[in-house]
Chains A and B, each alone.
Chain A
């Protein structure tokens, strides 16, 4: 199983809503990532979790709150978002061992629209 599964595929939310994006992998990877991708732009790193602990936060606003409840799951909690937060949110996982399967595996993304 080399899949990273993201739900939901599409999400429309108001600026006062609270929602969560979910990501799951069963490859035994201990590094998991959230990326944000705007149209016609490359993915931008938001958060990195390593062994279920937040290791990198790329100065992301607090209205985005990541959570890693276990080694297979990664959530991104959303609250009080702005229309400019509309984007494709990608989850990825990667082996923590540098010399083994070092590519990141990406999910299909959640297309988020904030209205």
Chain B
């Protein structure tokens, strides 16, 4: 079975500062990894995904993530955040198309 751990439930950061949201996964087989963002009272929007190939993945809104197999991590980064980035961020893992397992989420609070 696969699982995802997001260690930080909340991350406050000042506007224009860099941010890293941490995600660690556990699986006995190869996985597909995703980061989703959820704005209040909305559905989930895909930020980026790792399927295979290059371990540095670039996504929308200036976000990127690095897949590290040895550390079983898939941390999300942005060099300079904006107020509009305030949202809940979910890391997710999948080993087949049937199931996507989500982490508990990290609330990113951008401070003006």
Tell which of A95, A106, A111 touches B44, judged by Cβ atoms closer than 8 Å.
A106
* Cβ–Cβ < 8 Å partners of A107 in chain B: 43
B7 adjacent to chain A (CB < 8 Å): no
Chain A interface size, under 10 / 10 to 19 / 20 to 34 / 35 or more? 20 to 34
Contact present for A111 and B41 (CB under 8 Å): yes
**Given A42-B103, A102-B32, A102-B51, do A97 and B97 touch, yes or no (CB 8 Å)?**
yes
Binary CB contact string for chain A from 93 to 115 against chain B (1 if under 8 A, 0 otherwise): 01111110011111111010000
CA distance A102 to B93 in the complex (A): 11
B67 adjacent to chain A (CB < 8 Å): no
B46 adjacent to chain A (CB < 8 Å): yes
Q: Would you give 28 A-B contacts (Cβ < 8 Å), ordered by A?
A: A6-B43, A43-B44, A43-B102, A45-B99, A45-B101, A48-B98, A50-B97, A50-B98, A56-B99, A88-B41, A90-B43, A92-B100, A94-B97, A94-B100, A95-B97, A99-B51, A102-B32, A102-B94, A102-B97, A103-B34, A103-B49, A104-B100, A106-B36, A106-B44, A106-B45, A107-B43, A108-B42, A109-B41
> Using a CB–CB distance below 8 Å, which chain B residues touch chain A?
32, 34, 36, 41-46, 49, 51, 90, 94, 96-105
> Using a CB–CB distance below 8 Å, which chain A residues touch chain B?
4, 6, 31, 33, 40-43, 45, 48, 50, 55-56, 88, 90, 92, 94-99, 102-109, 111
Task: Please name the 7 residue pairs, one residue from A and one from B, whose CB atoms are nearest each other, closest first.
Answer: A42-B102, A106-B43, A106-B44, A108-B43, A103-B46, A109-B43, A31-B97
